[in-house]
Structure 1
Amino acid sequence: MTTISIDNVSRWFGNVVAVNDVTMTIGPGVTGLLGPNGAGKSTLINMMAGFLPPSTGTVTLDTTPVWRNEQAYRHIGIVPEREAMYDFLTGAEFVLANAELHGLPDPGAAARKALATVEMEYAQGRRIETYSKGMRQRVKMASALVHEPSVLLLDEPFNGMDPRQRLQLMDLLRRMGAEGRTVLFSSHILEEVEQLARHIEVIVAGRHAASGDYRRIRRLMTNRPHRYLVRSSDDRALASALIAHGSTSGLELDAAESALRIQAVDFAGFTELLPRVAREHGIRLYEVSPSDESLESVFSYLVTA
């Protein structure tokens, strides 16, 4: 059972702070590292993998610092988001080269097993330059698995994959988590994390925003104030009927948009209230649309909640 510990870690590039005083522990099982694009997820993963030193703080693998510790790579497999491959090699040659670099006793057998694990035998003889994005992701995965690491770090691993490839990779990661390996994958897509990870760590603007069971944090996201843009046959009458109800905390008539802007604090209550009030007052609803459903707004709420 291998654990990665991140203790008061910060990393800056010149005047830009990419990771700001983050503390977390990643243990066996599947953990999702969730955050909007630019939140600092890749920088954090690069420090866990020993590619970058922390500016302050420590990253340890079972109490041993990762930075400048070549022995750590016996235990870590990484799939970076950035492409870092030799396109003139075939998939089989690329994975074999990594098996040989690890000094495995039978690199050929290890490479074949890793390619079979990600279902890439059919294309192993083709040059990587001919691969689709999803195929390149899978051969990177095979390379990361070739030495059977106890820790797997994946940076946006589902990018470019078709639905079948995504399901296959999700099944593979679930199996590895069930085997007791420490699997961390980053994503900015809530649905990916919901399907795969029971435990999540949320990063926003370089800061650690939330940690724990996915369902608990998802409830925080669901119960945050929701903002809606509503167009109806009588916005003023609708506002008057809604304003006294406890599920709403703010209403504004937007003359420029010819619409009503509503902030709801009780999602379930509001979704029942709006059509009922419209029906009772003979008001026709032309449009009801969320105005703050971006991931950035969700994560910002977590930071300030």
Structure 2
Amino acid sequence: MSGGSPPAIELRGVSRWYGNVVAVNDVSFEVGPGVTGLLGPNGAGKSTILHMAAGFLRPSAGDVRILGEPAWRNPGIYRRLGLVPEREAVYGFLTGREFVELAARLHRLPDPAAAAERAIALVDMDAAAGRPCGTYSKGMKQRIKIAAALVHDPQVLILDEPFNGADPRQRLHLMDLFRRMAAEGRAILYSSHILEEVERLADTVLVIVAGRLAASGDYRQIRALMTDRPHAFTVRSSDDRALAARLLAEPAIRGVAFDDGRLEVRADGLLAAARALPAAARAAGVTLYEVRPTDESLESVFAYLVRR
């Protein structure tokens, strides 16, 4: 970090297990100013990592620090840390304004009401702030949780699936807010299992699979690894057998097979397949009806990264 200042969030050799179940396995990374996306399929260990970073869980092994200070049993870090948990953590009987003002009072801010109003305006909840939280939609509850996390103007923000339930307009508003905060020098770490969310917001990506750090770095580099991996497709055409015979002459095609009457094609990568399939169809005089990826789940994508 510049000037010798410690990382905003630092994990060193961190593991967390529950009995014989290993939820997080020897994970190390640093997070500095900007937006960092923690990307991985559901159950990969993202929430466990965030809970340890926020000081809610003690690592079974390793060290977790926020701004150079231990995260575990250190309430002082919350003066500079904001947390938005994935679970619904609002009091339904309080209005949105009362909920955010309660957070301001817990932080012992000098003017809780004014701080609450500022935070509510940041997430565009002014019009609904007087309503009980129990009447909010899931997206509105997410935004009021974010307001409560921002009320003390933290330097570090940790968010667990912050866009769950938000409609497209709300997502764009929150993404713009996080970009502005990052531009002001704050460090934001948020989790998602949706590739497009990370693509649109994060500067840096940490890919978590089965509790391990599978890849990290610039999003474009990670995306290239995912795009260039071997792909499998189901293809329908006017003559599948003629197409299969011609595909075998294409260097980018690794193999073809018929599974229950369907033509299965394996190619070196998505772009390679996009070039090879139409070329083979033209050469064989065949019409393509459908080309459908059969291995596009996040789990399969991330598993490929782990094997690299």
Q: TM-score by structure 1 length? A: 0.97
Map 1:142-291 to 2 at 5 A: 142-254=147-259, 256=260, 258-291=261-294
How far apart are 1:32 and its partner, in Å?
Answer: 0.5
The residue that corresponds to 1:54 in the other structure is: 59
- Any idea what SS the aligned residue of 1:260 has? strand
- Any idea what SS the aligned residue of 2:273 has? helix
- Any idea what SS the aligned residue of 1:53 has? coil
Gaps of 5+ in 2: none
Corresponding residue to 1:28 among 33, 40, 65:
33
Given that 1:95 and 1:143 are in contact with CA atoms closer than 8 Å, whether structure 2 keeps it comes out as yes
How far apart are 1:9 and its partner, in Å?
Answer: 0.5
Pair 1:125 & 2:130 matched:
yes
How far apart are 1:279 and its partner, in Å?
Answer: 2.1
Given that 2:233 and 2:294 are in contact with CA atoms closer than 8 Å, whether structure 1 keeps it comes out as yes
Distance 1:288 1:139, change over 3 A: same
Distance 2:250 2:286 in 1: 17
Distance 2:49 2:85 in 1: 12
How far apart are 1:252 and its partner, in Å?
Answer: 1.2
How far apart are 1:242 and its partner, in Å?
Answer: 1.1
Given that 1:32 and 1:185 are in contact with CA atoms closer than 8 Å, whether structure 2 keeps it comes out as yes
Given that 2:89 and 2:145 are in contact with CA atoms closer than 8 Å, whether structure 1 keeps it comes out as no
Q: Cα deviation per residue 1:249-301 (whole Å; 9 max; x = unaligned)?
A: 121122x1x12111100432321221222122222323211100111111011
Gaps of 5+ in 1: none
RMSD: 1.1
Distance 1:221 1:235 in 2: 28
Distance 1:21 1:4 in 2: 16
Given that 1:10 and 1:18 are in contact with CA atoms closer than 8 Å, whether structure 2 keeps it comes out as yes
Distance 1:285 1:120 in 2: 49
Q: Following superposition, which runs of at least 4 residues in structure 1 exceed 6 angstroms of deviation?
A: none
Given that 1:230 and 1:260 are in contact with CA atoms closer than 8 Å, whether structure 2 keeps it comes out as yes
Distance 1:28 1:234 in 2: 55
Given that 2:228 and 2:271 are in contact with CA atoms closer than 8 Å, whether structure 1 keeps it comes out as no
Corresponding residue to 1:75 among 75, 80, 84:
80
Name whichever of 57-66 and 31-40 sits farther off.
Answer: 57-66
Distance 1:168 1:283 in 2: 47
- Any idea what SS the aligned residue of 2:256 has? strand
The residue that corresponds to 1:15 in the other structure is: 20
Given that 1:247 and 1:267 are in contact with CA atoms closer than 8 Å, whether structure 2 keeps it comes out as no
- Any idea what SS the aligned residue of 1:154 has? strand
Q: Cα deviation per residue 1:175-212 (whole Å; 9 max; x = unaligned)?
A: 01111100011000010000001211000011000000
Given that 2:158 and 2:189 are in contact with CA atoms closer than 8 Å, whether structure 1 keeps it comes out as yes
Percent identical pairs in the alignment equals 62
Q: TM-score by structure 2 length? A: 0.96
How far apart are 1:153 and its partner, in Å?
Answer: 0.3
- Any idea what SS the aligned residue of 1:103 has? coil
Q: Cα deviation per residue 1:31-79 (whole Å; 9 max; x = unaligned)?
A: 0000001100001000000011101111011321110001000011000
Distance 1:277 1:88 in 2: 64
- Any idea what SS the aligned residue of 1:108 has? helix
Given that 1:151 and 1:181 are in contact with CA atoms closer than 8 Å, whether structure 2 keeps it comes out as yes
Distance 1:294 1:269 in 2: 19
Given that 1:235 and 1:253 are in contact with CA atoms closer than 8 Å, whether structure 2 keeps it comes out as no
Aligned residues: 303
Q: Give the partner amino acid of 1:201.
A: L
Pair 1:65 & 2:56 matched:
no
The residue that corresponds to 2:91 in the other structure is: 86
